[in-house]
Structure 1
Amino acid sequence: VTAPLAGALSDRLGAGFVYKLALTILAGGFFLASQMEHLWQAQLGLGVMVGMAVSGLGMAVATGLISRWFRDNITLATSIAYAGVSVGMLSVAPLAQILIESQGWRETYFILALPPILVLPILFLLPWKQINGGTSGLEAATARHFLMPKHVLAQPTFWGLFMSFYATSVAIWTTALQVVAYLIEIGFSAITAATSFGVIGAMSIFGMLGTGFLADRFGRKLVVTCSFLTTILGVVMIWSLSAHPSTFMLFVSVVIFGLTMGSRGPVISSLVARLYPNMVGAVYGTVTIAFGLGAATGGILSGFLRDTTGGYDAVFMASIIACVLGLMPYWLLHTLAHGAWPSGKDASS
């Protein structure tokens, strides 16, 4: 929810300001959590403060910065940043669990507050004027609007980006959130099912990098189309395991599905950077709301379909339909297919 604000602040005041503020809030949130005695402290520290900090340190801010340095390979550069986020998430979760078991949860939250404090002085030493200027060496243009102007909300291009991000999130999470329970139900062991979910997360890193590399070379429309078709293939293969369970086919299925998990995010980020260069943060921050809504929809929808039908057929069919809906904007809108306005002008101003 705070991603649009973080992006708008970055457009207006620069990425350095947002990163410093976000690290300060992150450290404060973890420190408050380490001292909590009441529910409101958890809600404020972990819910509000850490949530705000994650938005400030996320791709809503990074996309604008990346776009000034990597115009020719922006999708690949964005993919690397996305992959870095995934690596961090996969690394921190087990580390936090180890710390909780060895030190206790209070001490763990206190320890998690230290890295932001240690990094903060380094950010104050960095030459942010040059960093914000990008390869041109010029200071980044200040956005004309603090928040996204109303005319952008009236553009089919914006809603195409929003719909695609929403649909791809629904497609992924409808299947991903049910896959462990589904695999156990059709006869696989709990450890095999849990490992499969881990493989999906790990493969997403390679999928992001591969999609970014290919999109810059062969075009977004072709690569995104192949990406959605690959997701559909992965869903169908996972679906077919109920009739023909096989450990080998399970491995192939989760690898294929995992390779496309998160792969559309970098493409959408790069499109925002190309189409709205003067307000990347505000626009992309708003578009990311679609991802959160899609994840929530996918989780609720998959649970509802499983409970009402007593099986997973409707769950997998919903995921496939969401893939088709997510792909449609790239075939219907020239701007998303080619990453440019027909007039060649920036329509964000």
Structure 2
Amino acid sequence: MALAHPPLTGDPELIDSWRAWLVAIGAGLSCGMAFGTIYTFGAFIESMATEFGAGQGGTSVMIGIATLLFFSTGIISGPLLHHLGPRPLLAVGGALFVAGLVATSSVSELWHGYVVYGVGCGFGAGLFVSPLFATAASWFLRHRAVSQGLVATGPGLGTMVLVPLAQRMIENLGWREAFRWLAVIGAITVLVCLVLVRRTPIVATAHPREHVRRVVRTKAFWQLTIGSTLFAVPVIGSLAAIIPFASSVGIGAGAAAWLLSVVGAASIFGRLLLTSFARALGSIRLLKISFAMLPVAFVIWFFASDRYAQIVVFAVILGVGYGGFVALQGDVTPHLFGVAGIGSVLGRLFFCYGIGSMIGPIAMFTLLESSGGTLLPIALAGGVALAGVLVIWGLTPDPVPLEPTTSTRAPRSPLQLSPPSVWMTVPASSDRWS
């Protein structure tokens, strides 16, 4: 059965152009600022828990709410992308994100933080993160995997830079002032990226809503969504918990904060390295390998105890697997389902990722407090990661047929343009994607 992704119309000369790379850079900077800021929460949790007299489990609800909204808002922002384009979403979401950081710096009760940090930072970032990944993907054809690696490098850079910076600011200025400075960094980044980001140069000739309905009925879609949920639980849980977990076994605060920078640096390496081999080895094959790195990483962490070098090895493997999975998913998704309605499809994937992101940190800290040690939460995180690998391993390497067709020709690229005089095609080869 030949693939029947809806044809697209627009300006083919802009695909893979210098303008497309500027969009990818803008998307990467915005997503890097958002991810990096959210991931600084592990540096804040001890100071906030102490001031408000709450346990780390209770305080971690803030990051649980924020990450849930951060990712799950994609189910709303995806359809909005088709109607409004990315810039209004970046402007409104960026303003909410910055306002949430400023408001969090002034909370007098912990539950206030649940609201302003969760809704402001989580929902605000969720309005633009998923749409920017989708927008960048739609600007590329031949270099989509590399461009998605570039976009996904932003979160790695953000984590690598902002986490130790936040730790230093907390030590020297206090946690409230640190949030205010993060707000300044966020505002400047959003303004710069509003200049770089532009709406996709191609438009689906078919109605994207009907296309998305077909997508969500496929086995491959559910493998990706369930796999994304099971991926997020251990990854986001570890990113939130690694600093306090390391501190609990006697590692200093500064050294513990640098572990997140190691994760960020390794994720950059994973994003750029794995996406650069996507054409040769196949994005879907590399996606599975990236996921399979997680159980290995947690076995190493489980036996690390207070050995800092071994925890660093865990952080490196976690970062490479995490970075590769996130970057390759932006290439795999349009390959399997086409780019028509891609904002909505990626939004649904982000929503499932958000469910796992909410569960992960809360589960890690709750298990830490209830068990009195780190071994149980680390072991369960590894078990969840292994379950996710089993779900994702059977993912098809070929584009998913979404409607019957009598054509006997090889499937065209999902980015093929209409009318025929401006069609853009690439060789259809499952080896490239498997």
Q: How does the TM-score come out when normalised to structure 1?
A: 0.75
1:283 partner amino acid: V
> Cα–Cα, structure 1 residues 346 and 77, in superposed 2: closer, same or farther, change >3 Å?
closer
Q: Distance in 1 between matches of 2:105 and 2:362?
A: 32
2:154 partner amino acid: G
2:200 partner amino acid: N
Structure 1 unaligned blocks of 5 or more: 134-138
Give the drift of 1:190.
4.7
2:331 partner amino acid: S
Give the drift of 1:153.
3.3
- Corresponding position of 1:115: 188
Aligned counterpart for 1:226 among listed residues 289, 293, 310: 289
Q: Distance in 1 between matches of 2:380 and 2:354?
A: 18
Give the drift of 1:227.
2.0
Q: Deviations over 1:53-101 (max 9, x none)?
A: 312331x212332223322232221121111133235434566674993
1:195-344 to structure 2, matched below 5 A, reads: 195-242=258-305, 246-274=307-335, 275-334=337-396, 337-341=397-401, 344=411
Structure 2 unaligned blocks of 5 or more: 1-71, 405-410, 415-434
Q: Distance in 2 between matches of 1:90 and 1:310?
A: 30
2:155 partner amino acid: V
Q: Distance in 2 between matches of 1:64 and 1:201?
A: 22
Could you say what secondary structure the match of 1:338 adopts?
coil
> Cα–Cα, structure 1 residues 142 and 12, in superposed 2: closer, same or farther, change >3 Å?
farther
Could you say what secondary structure the match of 1:324 adopts?
helix
Contact 1:28 1:113 in 2 (8 A): no
- Corresponding position of 1:101: 173
1:81 aligns with 2:151: yes
The range that moved more, 10-19 or 153-162, is: 10-19
Q: Distance in 1 between matches of 2:367 and 2:113?
A: 33
How many residue pairs align between the two structures? 332
Could you say what secondary structure the match of 1:278 adopts?
coil
> Cα–Cα, structure 1 residues 101 and 160, in superposed 2: closer, same or farther, change >3 Å?
same
Contact 2:137 2:331 in 1 (8 A): yes
Could you say what secondary structure the match of 1:323 adopts?
helix
Contact 1:5 1:147 in 2 (8 A): no
1:18 partner amino acid: L
- Corresponding position of 1:136: none
The range that moved more, 179-188 or 159-168, is: 179-188
Contact 2:161 2:261 in 1 (8 A): no
> Cα–Cα, structure 1 residues 251 and 331, in superposed 2: closer, same or farther, change >3 Å?
closer
Q: How does the TM-score come out when normalised to structure 2?
A: 0.62
> Cα–Cα, structure 1 residues 262 and 295, in superposed 2: closer, same or farther, change >3 Å?
farther
1:157 aligns with 2:230: no
Contact 2:146 2:272 in 1 (8 A): yes
1:160 partner amino acid: Q
Contact 2:275 2:283 in 1 (8 A): no
Identity between Structure 1 and Structure 2 (%): 20
Give the drift of 1:116.
6.3
Could you say what secondary structure the match of 1:261 adopts?
helix
